[in-house]
């Protein structure tokens, strides 16, 4: 007997034990008192008699301050809540004791809050206790604040965008802050509200609790959750008549220079700090060793090693090393990124700009050395009077994992050097200034349809000055402009836009560059007083021109200004750029909106052929998500980028997320997502299967979800700022996670048509149904059908596949990933089977199966 699986998500408002239940009161009153107070966030309590108070949701925070960097810097002080124009709720608060800004936002229901505004004021030492009042006569909000000197000031607004110049005020506003007893005297404001307001707040809290419970669903509780569950029978009946076209761009990758993904990672350069441009500011002055000489050391007597910047090789690369040798023997060495890994017999290309500053031009010995094995290779180069690029090659006589590069002047003198580089000749596809072959190949093996780059947060940067500028990343290496990497290290820009485009072409993927929307990261620590800020309006025209120039650089004729530069770099053919992302999970403020709209309109006008991807904030819900999507609808943005990092339970319980999306609106690019285990931020088979399960829902919704990419992609062991990642690596090994194989199985088995099917199960429990997922797609060019089946249950699922009129031809390739959910090194196993149609297939407990056959 088969049942259809119960509907996935039926939101029953569960009743939680604890406080008196506002939605359970019989003979409901018409109204009640609401008290708003602070708990580093806006919190409410309710009362019928103004004496006995019940905190709603045990002090649940309904509004948090978004100002400042991560965590503890985001403070809400002295929130002040009123009901203003047409009953809308308005809240002000002070941000800290220094900033001449306050916060203001509004809400229709006290639950969902609009964007937060942080207006600057021009009077007062700081802003303390901003009190908002609504002046009905002038239909304005009046904000009165005090400062450290106890003086009072006022500013006014009608629309929350324009605030009048602050003026002094003779006295404090009529401040209605009172106090109630919640175990201790608690200051705040009283409000008289209709009873449903209280009931809705309680419901909103319960809804959050309900979702938290769902999100915590984990296989570690499966023995209890599925106690007594026997094998489940499933029947999947294909309904080819309902086939629909889906995106053939669904599976892509997102490469961000995070976790040493570029320098020390994919970019094959073996010398660290080759340009002597590391700066204390790269690490926000927290590491005094992180300076121009990082990675380098001088050994030997009667010699000095200094950094100079007079008459540099290029102004964009102003520092260089000077070694002053009184007596030959001193050696300047570089230990690379955690040592230099070498392979016996392979060729390594050395190059450097050198100049003899004093003494006659002499020879310099370049060698590869290992403590245990001694000198593995050496060559001699001749120095010259002026800056000259010197090149040579080295072939190590043995393998080594921790070699170093040594530079040894053979005569006394003063030697300047810059851009000291060592590159394996065998880069990915043999490219000059290329990529580490094994790592690039592992990425290519996913078969991504596109590559999003260079970030992430890296693209919009930490503060306006740190916004990634593509023009700084092209041209001869010595002319590229290195920058601080906001993930706490340095970007040489060696892996720049040319190399990104080249890599995309080499792996047959479409390039998807992401350009900041004229605003840096919402958590910027530099500039903007710990807040977003935006490129000054007078600089926006040039900023927009730079974006338009990017299209010319990628696609323009070789006679155009920027097309000529691409050709000069060795690629006269266009790179066929079709997509540009504007913005990265930004805070959707007025500052953002203004700049985004300017960029969007100008780019659309100049290049209507480019598909622009907008941004819907860092979460799958909330103010930025709502505001981002509202801009999308207003401008009819072709594609919107969404991000969410969640628990396996979230992915299991939200498989219908896109089923509900409006097909007439923008398409979706799920640009960043990953399932990770709470606490450890680790991945295992459970997280991989949760992703595989969720990806079936992306294929099912492939008519609205057009692209997706897991994040982050790669991470160097020992230099990881973000976990989990898809692929870990060190200098010699590449270590894909189990989630990598899920991406690969989807990447290699995607289709362009979705074939719906009906699933019937022998067990009608909702929690059983949502652990089984399937997706059937057809790849038109090969005329092959691909069936993906996920079983996240602790028992096997006996599956009958009824293909109806579709007939499998020849053998079927079956690939299976299965094991214990906590296993971290599960790998796919491929076999060949004979599938007829109406076959029985056993899906092992905790497994992902892919079937592929001709039809
Ligand atoms: O993927 C890591 C980071 O996560 C990205 O840089 C950013 O966009 C997101 O917050």
Counting ligand 1 atoms within 8 A of each CB, the residue from 583, 711, 727 with the most, and so the one to mutate, is: 711
String of DSSP letters for 729-777 = E-SS-EEE-HHHHHHHHHHHT--SEE--EEEEES---HHHHTTEEEEEE
The mean pLDDT value for 140-151 works out to 95
Q: Contact, 458 vs 258, CB < 8 A?
A: yes
| Cα–Cα dist 152/601, whole Å | 43
Q: Contact, 246 vs 703, CB < 8 A?
A: yes
Cα of 456 vs centre of ligand 1, distance in Å, is 5
Atom of ligand 1 nearest to the CA of 256: 6
**pLDDT-above-90 percentage for the chain:** 89
Q: What is the pLDDT of residues 332-356, one digit of tens each?
A: 999 999 999 999 999 999 999 999 9
The mean pLDDT value for 646-664 works out to 97
Q: What is the pLDDT of residues 90-143, one digit of tens each?
A: 999 999 998 899 999 999 999 999 999 999 999 999 999 999 999 999 999 999
Whether 782 has a pLDDT exceeding 60, the answer reads yes
CB neighbour class for 301 (10 Å; exposed up to 12, middle 13-18, buried from 19): exposed
Checking DSSP bridges between strand 152-157 and strand 753-754, what pairing results, if any? unpaired
Whether 771 has a pLDDT exceeding 70, the answer reads yes
Position 526 scores a pLDDT of 73
Residue given tokens 């995070």 in the structure block: 258
Position 528 scores a pLDDT of 60
What are the Cα distances from residue 285, in Å, to 70, 338, 734? 19, 22, 32
* Nearest of 439, 443, 580, 555 to residue 507 by alpha carbon: 443
Give me the chain's average pLDDT, please.
94
Catalytic residue among 585, 642, 691, 699: 585
Position 2 scores a pLDDT of 34
Position 28 scores a pLDDT of 85
What are the Cα distances from residue 634, in Å, to 191, 603, 631, 792? 36, 16, 5, 40
The SS3 assignment for 94 reads: strand
Atom of ligand 1 nearest to the CA of 254: 1
The mean pLDDT value for 690-701 works out to 98
Tell the residue nearest (CA) to atom 3 of ligand 1.
456
Atom of ligand 1 nearest to the CA of 459: 6
Cα of 645 vs centre of ligand 1, distance in Å, is 9
Whether 752 has a pLDDT exceeding 80, the answer reads yes
Q: Which H/E stretch holds residue 299? A: strand 296-299
Cα of 440 vs centre of ligand 1, distance in Å, is 21
Is-catalytic flag, 585? yes
Position 73 scores a pLDDT of 80
Q: Contact, 820 vs 784, CB < 8 A?
A: no
Counting ligand 1 atoms within 8 A of each CB, the residue from 461, 643, 671 with the most, and so the one to mutate, is: 643
| Cα–Cα dist 589/701, whole Å | 30
Whether 32 has a pLDDT exceeding 90, the answer reads yes
Phi, psi (5° rounding) for residue 232? -105, 140
Position 3 scores a pLDDT of 35
Tell the residue nearest (CA) to atom 6 of ligand 1.
456
Cα of 646 vs centre of ligand 1, distance in Å, is 13
CB neighbour class for 407 (10 Å; exposed up to 12, middle 13-18, buried from 19): buried
Counting ligand 1 atoms within 8 A of each CB, the residue from 259, 454, 722 with the most, and so the one to mutate, is: 722
Ligand 1 first shell, C-beta below 6 A: 256, 258, 455-457, 584-585, 618, 672, 711-712, 722
* Nearest of 668, 623, 661, 662 to residue 643 by alpha carbon: 668
Whether 21 has a pLDDT exceeding 70, the answer reads no
Cα of 452 vs centre of ligand 1, distance in Å, is 12
Q: What is the pLDDT of residues 572-617, one digit of tens each?
A: 999 999 999 999 999 999 999 999 999 999 999 999 999 999 999 9
The mean pLDDT value for 531-547 works out to 93
The mean pLDDT value for 457-485 works out to 97
Position 850 scores a pLDDT of 98
| Cα–Cα dist 676/384, whole Å | 55
Cα of 459 vs centre of ligand 1, distance in Å, is 10
Atom of ligand 1 nearest to the CA of 585: 8
Whether 174 has a pLDDT exceeding 80, the answer reads no
Position 530 scores a pLDDT of 57
525 token code pair = 């620590």
Tell the residue nearest (CA) to atom 9 of ligand 1.
456
Atom of ligand 1 nearest to the CA of 618: 10
Q: How confident is the model at residue 26 (pLDDT cuts 50, 70, 90)?
A: low
**pLDDT-above-70 percentage for the chain:** 96
| Cα–Cα dist 318/34, whole Å | 62
Whether 632 has a pLDDT exceeding 50, the answer reads yes
């Amino acid at each position: 007997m088969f049942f259809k699986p119960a509907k996935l998500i039926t939101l029953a408002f569960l009743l939680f034990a604890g406080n008196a239940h506002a939605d359970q009161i019989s003979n409901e009153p018409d109204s009640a008192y609401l008290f708003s107070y602070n708990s580093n966030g806006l919190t409410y309590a309710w009362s019928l008699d103004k004496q006995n108070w019940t905190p709603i949701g045990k002090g649940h925070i309904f509004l948090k301050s978004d100002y400042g960097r991560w965590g503890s810097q985001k403070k809400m002080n002295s929130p002040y809540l009123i009901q203003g124009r047409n009953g809308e709720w308005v809240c002000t608060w002070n941000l800290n004791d220094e900033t001449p800004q306050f916060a203001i936002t509004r809400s229709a229901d006290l639950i969902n809050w609009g964007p937060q505004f942080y207006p600057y004021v021009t009077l007062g030492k700081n802003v303390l206790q901003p009190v908002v009042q609504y002046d009905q006569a002038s239909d304005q909000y009046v904000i009165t604040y005090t400062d450290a000197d106890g003086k009072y000031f006022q500013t006014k607004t009608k629309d929350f965008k324009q605030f009048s110049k602050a003026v002094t005020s003779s006295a404090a506003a009529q401040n209605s802050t009172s106090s109630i007893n919640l175990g201790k005297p608690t200051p705040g404001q009283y409000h008289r509200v209709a009873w449903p307001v209280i009931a809705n707040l309680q419901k909103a809290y319960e809804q959050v609790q309900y979702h938290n419970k769902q999100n915590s669903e984990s296989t570690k509780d499966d023995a209890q959750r599925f106690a007594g569950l026997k094998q489940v029978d499933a029947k999947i009946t294909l309904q080819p008549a309902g086939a629909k076209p889906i995106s053939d761009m669904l599976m892509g990758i997102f490469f961000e220079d995070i976790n040493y993904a570029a320098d020390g990672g994919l970019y094959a350069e073996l010398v660290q700090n080759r340009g002597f441009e590391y700066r204390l500011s790269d690490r926000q002055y927290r590491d005094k060793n992180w300076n121009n000489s990082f990675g380098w050391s001088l050994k030997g007597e009667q010699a000095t090693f200094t950094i100079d910047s007079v008459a540099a090789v290029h102004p964009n690369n102003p520092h260089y090393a000077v070694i002053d040798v009184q007596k030959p023997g001193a050696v300047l060495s570089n230990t690379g990124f955690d040592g230099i890994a070498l392979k016996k017999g392979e060729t390594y290309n050395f190059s450097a700009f050198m100049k003899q500053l004093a003494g006659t031009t002499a020879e310099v010995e370049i060698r590869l050395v290992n403590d245990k094995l001694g000198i593995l290779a050496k060559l001699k180069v001749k120095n010259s009077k002026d800056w000259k690029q010197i090149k040579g090659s080295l072939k190590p006589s043995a393998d080594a994992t921790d070699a170093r590069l040594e530079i040894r002047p053979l005569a006394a003198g003063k030697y300047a050097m810059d851009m000291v580089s060592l590159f394996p000749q065998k880069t990915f596809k043999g490219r000059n200034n290329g990529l580490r072959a094994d790592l690039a190949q592992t990425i290519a093996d996913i078969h991504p349809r596109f590559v999003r780059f260079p970030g992430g947060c890296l693209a919009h940067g930490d503060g306006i000055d740190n916004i990634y500028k593509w023009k700084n990343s092209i041209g001869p290496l010595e002319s590229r402009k290195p920058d601080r990497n906001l993930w706490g290290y340095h970007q040489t820009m060696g892996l720049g836009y040319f190399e990104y485009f080249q890599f995309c072409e080499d792996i047959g993927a479409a390039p998807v560059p992401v350009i900041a929307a004229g605003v840096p990261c919402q958590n910027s620590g530099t500039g903007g007083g710990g807040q977003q800020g935006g490129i000054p309006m007078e600089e926006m025209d040039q900023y927009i021109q730079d974006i338009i120039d990017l299209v010319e650089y990628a696609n323009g004729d070789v006679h155009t200004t920027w097309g000529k530069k691409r050709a000069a770099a060795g690629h006269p053919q266009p790179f066929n750029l079709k997509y540009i992302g504007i913005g990265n999970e930004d805070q959707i403020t007025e500052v953002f909106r203004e700049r985004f709209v300017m960029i969007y309109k100008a780019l659309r006008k100049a290049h209507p052929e480019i598909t622009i991807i907008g941004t819907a904030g860092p979460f799958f819900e909330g103010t930025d998500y709502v505001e981002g999507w509202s801009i999308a609808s207003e401008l009819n943005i072709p594609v919107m980028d969404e991000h969410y990092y969640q628990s396996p339970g979230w992915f299991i319980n939200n498989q219908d997320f896109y089923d509900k999306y409006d097909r007439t609106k923008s398409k979706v690019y799920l640009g960043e997502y990953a399932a990770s285990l709470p606490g450890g931020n680790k991945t295992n088979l459970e997280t991989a299967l949760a992703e595989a399960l969720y990806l079936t829902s992306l294929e099912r919704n492939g008519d609205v979800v057009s692209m997706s990419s897991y994040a982050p992609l790669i991470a160097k062991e020992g230099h990881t700022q973000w976990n989990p990642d898809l692929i870990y690596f060190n200098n010699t090994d590449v270590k894909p996670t189990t989630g990598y194989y899920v991406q690969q199985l989807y990447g290699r088995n995607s289709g362009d048509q979705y074939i719906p099917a009906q699933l019937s199960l022998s067990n009608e429990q909702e929690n059983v149904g949502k652990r089984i997922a399937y997706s059937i797609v057809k790849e038109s060019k090969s005329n092959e059908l691909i069936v993906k089946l996920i079983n996240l249950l602790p028992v096997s699922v006996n599956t009958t596949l009824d293909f109806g009129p579709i007939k499998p031809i020849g053998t079927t390739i079956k690939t299976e990933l299965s094991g214990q959910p906590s296993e971290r090194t599960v790998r796919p196993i491929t076999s060949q089977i004979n599938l007829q149609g109406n076959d029985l297939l056993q899906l092992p407990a905790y497994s992902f199966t892919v079937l592929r056959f001709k039809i």
